[in-house]
Amino acid sequence: VDAEKRVAAEAAAALVEDGMTVGLGTGSTVEHLLAALSARKLRIRCVATSMQTERAALGLGLRVEPFEALERLDLAIDGADQIAPDRWLVKGGGGAHTREKIVAAAADRFVVIASSDKLVDELRPPIPLELLRFGLAATLRALGHAGLRDEQSPDGNLIADYHGAIGDPASLAAWLSSTPGVVEHGLFPPVLVDEILVGSGPGVERR
Ligand code: 5RP
Protein backbone atom coordinates (compact mmCIF):
# COMPACT_ATOMS: atom_id res chain seq x y z
CA VAL A 1 0.00 0.00 0.00
CA ASP A 2 2.77 2.42 0.90
CA ALA A 3 4.61 1.71 -2.38
CA GLU A 4 1.37 2.43 -4.29
CA LYS A 5 0.96 5.71 -2.41
CA ARG A 6 4.55 6.64 -3.28
CA VAL A 7 4.26 5.98 -7.03
CA ALA A 8 0.97 7.90 -7.21
CA ALA A 9 2.56 10.80 -5.32
CA GLU A 10 5.63 10.80 -7.56
CA ALA A 11 3.42 10.89 -10.68
CA ALA A 12 1.60 13.91 -9.23
CA ALA A 13 4.86 15.66 -8.34
CA ALA A 14 5.85 15.35 -12.01
CA LEU A 15 2.82 17.52 -12.93
CA VAL A 16 4.19 20.48 -10.97
CA GLU A 17 6.03 23.15 -12.94
CA ASP A 18 8.37 25.93 -11.95
CA GLY A 19 6.56 29.06 -10.75
CA MET A 20 3.30 27.30 -9.84
CA THR A 21 1.18 27.89 -6.75
CA VAL A 22 0.42 24.48 -5.28
CA GLY A 23 -2.06 23.32 -2.63
CA LEU A 24 -0.75 20.51 -0.47
CA GLY A 25 -3.21 18.07 1.11
CA THR A 26 -2.76 16.07 4.28
CA GLY A 27 -1.89 12.45 5.09
CA SER A 28 0.61 9.70 4.45
CA THR A 29 0.22 9.82 0.64
CA VAL A 30 0.90 13.56 0.69
CA GLU A 31 4.06 12.92 2.73
CA HIS A 32 5.44 11.03 -0.28
CA LEU A 33 4.41 13.97 -2.45
CA LEU A 34 6.34 16.42 -0.27
CA ALA A 35 9.51 14.34 -0.57
CA ALA A 36 9.13 14.06 -4.35
CA LEU A 37 8.45 17.80 -4.72
CA SER A 38 11.41 18.74 -2.56
CA ALA A 39 13.68 16.51 -4.65
CA ARG A 40 12.66 18.41 -7.80
CA LYS A 41 14.02 21.71 -6.39
CA LEU A 42 11.39 23.83 -8.17
CA ARG A 43 10.59 27.45 -7.39
CA ILE A 44 7.00 26.96 -6.24
CA ARG A 45 4.75 28.63 -3.67
CA CYS A 46 2.72 26.20 -1.56
CA VAL A 47 -0.22 26.39 0.82
CA ALA A 48 -0.70 23.64 3.39
CA THR A 49 -4.00 22.14 4.56
CA SER A 50 -2.72 21.19 8.03
CA MET A 51 0.04 21.96 10.52
CA GLN A 52 1.39 18.47 9.91
CA THR A 53 1.81 19.18 6.20
CA GLU A 54 3.16 22.68 6.84
CA ARG A 55 5.81 21.39 9.25
CA ALA A 56 6.86 18.56 6.94
CA ALA A 57 6.96 20.82 3.87
CA LEU A 58 9.02 23.49 5.61
CA GLY A 59 11.37 20.82 6.93
CA LEU A 60 11.96 19.68 3.36
CA GLY A 61 12.75 23.21 2.19
CA LEU A 62 9.44 23.92 0.41
CA ARG A 63 8.10 27.49 0.54
CA VAL A 64 4.78 27.55 2.40
CA GLU A 65 2.60 30.68 2.50
CA PRO A 66 -0.56 31.54 4.44
CA PHE A 67 -3.70 31.00 2.36
CA GLU A 68 -5.17 34.40 2.99
CA ALA A 69 -3.81 36.54 0.20
CA LEU A 70 -3.65 34.07 -2.71
CA GLU A 71 -6.92 34.15 -4.70
CA ARG A 72 -6.33 30.96 -6.63
CA LEU A 73 -3.92 28.07 -7.02
CA ASP A 74 -2.57 26.42 -10.15
CA LEU A 75 -2.75 22.91 -8.77
CA ALA A 76 -3.84 21.09 -5.63
CA ILE A 77 -2.80 17.54 -4.81
CA ASP A 78 -4.31 15.46 -2.01
CA GLY A 79 -5.10 11.93 -0.88
CA ALA A 80 -8.53 10.39 -0.23
CA ASP A 81 -10.15 7.83 2.06
CA GLN A 82 -12.61 6.49 -0.53
CA ILE A 83 -12.89 6.96 -4.30
CA ALA A 84 -16.14 5.86 -5.96
CA PRO A 85 -16.42 4.96 -9.69
CA ASP A 86 -18.38 8.20 -10.34
CA ARG A 87 -15.51 10.24 -8.72
CA TRP A 88 -17.33 11.10 -5.50
CA LEU A 89 -14.70 11.09 -2.74
CA VAL A 90 -14.72 10.73 1.01
CA LYS A 91 -11.97 12.74 2.67
CA GLY A 92 -11.18 13.85 6.20
CA GLY A 93 -9.49 10.79 7.67
CA GLY A 94 -6.96 13.29 8.99
CA GLY A 95 -9.62 15.80 10.06
CA ALA A 96 -8.44 18.43 7.57
CA HIS A 97 -11.27 18.18 5.01
CA THR A 98 -12.53 21.76 5.40
CA ARG A 99 -9.17 23.23 4.45
CA GLU A 100 -8.72 20.49 1.85
CA LYS A 101 -12.03 21.38 0.18
CA ILE A 102 -11.23 25.11 0.15
CA VAL A 103 -7.84 24.38 -1.42
CA ALA A 104 -9.28 21.93 -3.98
CA ALA A 105 -11.99 24.42 -4.99
CA ALA A 106 -9.46 27.26 -5.36
CA ALA A 107 -7.21 25.24 -7.66
CA ASP A 108 -7.43 25.24 -11.45
CA ARG A 109 -6.67 21.54 -11.29
CA PHE A 110 -7.29 19.14 -8.36
CA VAL A 111 -5.38 15.87 -8.53
CA VAL A 112 -6.15 13.01 -6.16
CA ILE A 113 -3.42 10.52 -5.28
CA ALA A 114 -4.14 7.16 -3.66
CA SER A 115 -3.27 3.52 -3.26
CA SER A 116 -5.61 1.04 -4.95
CA ASP A 117 -7.29 0.04 -1.67
CA LYS A 118 -9.05 3.45 -1.69
CA LEU A 119 -11.14 2.47 -4.71
CA VAL A 120 -14.64 1.40 -3.62
CA ASP A 121 -17.75 0.25 -5.48
CA GLU A 122 -19.86 2.69 -3.48
CA LEU A 123 -19.19 5.14 -0.65
CA ARG A 124 -19.77 3.87 2.85
CA PRO A 125 -19.88 5.48 6.29
CA PRO A 126 -18.27 7.13 8.15
CA ILE A 127 -18.30 10.60 6.60
CA PRO A 128 -15.97 12.98 8.47
CA LEU A 129 -17.48 16.24 9.75
CA GLU A 130 -16.02 19.43 11.13
CA LEU A 131 -18.36 20.88 13.76
CA LEU A 132 -18.50 24.20 15.56
CA ARG A 133 -18.16 23.87 19.35
CA PHE A 134 -21.02 26.35 19.91
CA GLY A 135 -24.30 24.40 20.09
CA LEU A 136 -22.50 21.09 19.78
CA ALA A 137 -25.10 18.95 21.58
CA ALA A 138 -27.89 20.40 19.42
CA THR A 139 -25.88 19.83 16.23
CA LEU A 140 -25.19 16.20 17.20
CA ARG A 141 -28.88 15.70 17.97
CA ALA A 142 -29.87 17.10 14.56
CA LEU A 143 -27.36 14.83 12.82
CA GLY A 144 -28.68 11.76 14.63
CA HIS A 145 -25.88 9.34 13.79
CA ALA A 146 -22.65 11.15 14.54
CA GLY A 147 -19.84 10.46 16.98
CA LEU A 148 -17.13 12.87 18.07
CA ARG A 149 -13.47 12.06 17.54
CA ASP A 150 -10.90 13.01 20.13
CA GLU A 151 -9.39 15.33 17.53
CA GLN A 152 -9.54 18.96 16.46
CA SER A 153 -9.48 20.44 12.99
CA PRO A 154 -6.52 22.64 11.97
CA ASP A 155 -8.77 25.61 12.80
CA GLY A 156 -9.67 24.43 16.30
CA ASN A 157 -13.15 23.05 15.56
CA LEU A 158 -14.32 19.55 16.51
CA ILE A 159 -14.08 16.52 14.26
CA ALA A 160 -16.88 13.96 14.17
CA ASP A 161 -17.95 11.07 11.95
CA TYR A 162 -21.41 10.64 10.46
CA HIS A 163 -22.41 6.98 10.61
CA GLY A 164 -25.86 7.14 9.02
CA ALA A 165 -26.73 5.68 5.61
CA ILE A 166 -25.27 7.46 2.57
CA GLY A 167 -27.78 6.74 -0.20
CA ASP A 168 -27.35 9.44 -2.84
CA PRO A 169 -24.09 11.31 -1.98
CA ALA A 170 -25.38 14.59 -3.49
CA SER A 171 -28.49 14.54 -1.26
CA LEU A 172 -26.48 13.65 1.84
CA ALA A 173 -23.92 16.36 1.02
CA ALA A 174 -26.71 18.95 0.62
CA TRP A 175 -28.34 17.89 3.90
CA LEU A 176 -25.07 17.98 5.84
CA SER A 177 -24.22 21.39 4.37
CA SER A 178 -27.62 22.72 5.39
CA THR A 179 -27.31 21.52 9.00
CA PRO A 180 -26.38 24.48 11.22
CA GLY A 181 -23.20 23.83 13.18
CA VAL A 182 -21.66 21.67 10.46
CA VAL A 183 -18.68 23.66 9.22
CA GLU A 184 -17.91 21.18 6.43
CA HIS A 185 -18.28 17.51 5.56
CA GLY A 186 -15.90 15.11 3.85
CA LEU A 187 -17.99 14.36 0.73
CA PHE A 188 -16.16 15.82 -2.28
CA PRO A 189 -18.27 16.01 -5.48
CA PRO A 190 -16.95 14.84 -8.88
CA VAL A 191 -17.01 18.41 -10.20
CA LEU A 192 -14.05 19.22 -7.92
CA VAL A 193 -11.93 16.32 -9.16
CA ASP A 194 -9.86 16.73 -12.32
CA GLU A 195 -7.63 13.69 -12.19
CA ILE A 196 -7.15 10.60 -10.01
CA LEU A 197 -3.76 8.88 -9.89
CA VAL A 198 -3.97 5.44 -8.33
CA GLY A 199 -0.91 3.35 -7.52
CA SER A 200 -1.52 -0.03 -9.08
CA GLY A 201 1.26 -2.50 -8.34
CA PRO A 202 4.48 -0.83 -9.55
CA GLY A 203 2.65 1.54 -11.94
CA VAL A 204 0.06 4.31 -11.86
CA GLU A 205 -3.44 4.20 -13.25
CA ARG A 206 -4.77 7.60 -14.41
CA ARG A 207 -8.51 8.26 -14.22
C1 5RP B 1 -6.99 14.00 5.48
C2 5RP B 1 -7.40 13.26 4.26
C3 5RP B 1 -6.43 12.31 3.66
O4 5RP B 1 -6.19 12.70 2.34
C5 5RP B 1 -7.01 10.91 3.67
O6 5RP B 1 -7.34 10.57 5.02
C7 5RP B 1 -6.02 9.88 3.10
O8 5RP B 1 -4.95 9.74 3.97
P9 5RP B 1 -3.70 8.82 3.62
O10 5RP B 1 -2.98 9.46 2.48
O11 5RP B 1 -2.89 8.80 4.89
O12 5RP B 1 -4.20 7.44 3.27
O13 5RP B 1 -8.50 13.42 3.76
O14 5RP B 1 -8.01 14.80 6.00
> Which one of 5, 24, 78 would you pick to mutate in the ligand 1 pocket, going by the greatest count of ligand atoms within 8 A of its CB?
78
Instruction: Give how far the C-alpha of residue 19 lies from the chain's centroid of Cα atoms, to the nearest Å.
Output: 23
**Low-confidence residues in the chain, pLDDT < 70:** none
Our answer on whether the CB atom of 25 is closer than 6 Å to any ligand 1 atom is: yes
Distances (CA, A) of 90 to 17, 115, 150: 28, 14, 20
pLDDT score of 69: 84
Task: Report the predicted TM-score, pTM, of the whole model to 2 decimal places.
Answer: 0.97
pLDDT score of 201: 82
Our answer on whether the CB atom of 26 is closer than 6 Å to any ligand 1 atom is: yes
pLDDT score of 44: 98
- What are the pLDDT digits (tens) for 146-189? 999 999 999 999 999 999 999 999 999 999 999 999 999 999 99
pLDDT score of 137: 97
> Which one of 81, 118, 127 would you pick to mutate in the ligand 1 pocket, going by the greatest count of ligand atoms within 8 A of its CB?
81
- What are the pLDDT digits (tens) for 107-116? 999 999 999 9
CB 127 within 8 A of CB 166: yes
**Ligand 1: distance of its center to the CA of 28 in Å?**
7
| Amino acid making up residue 83 | I
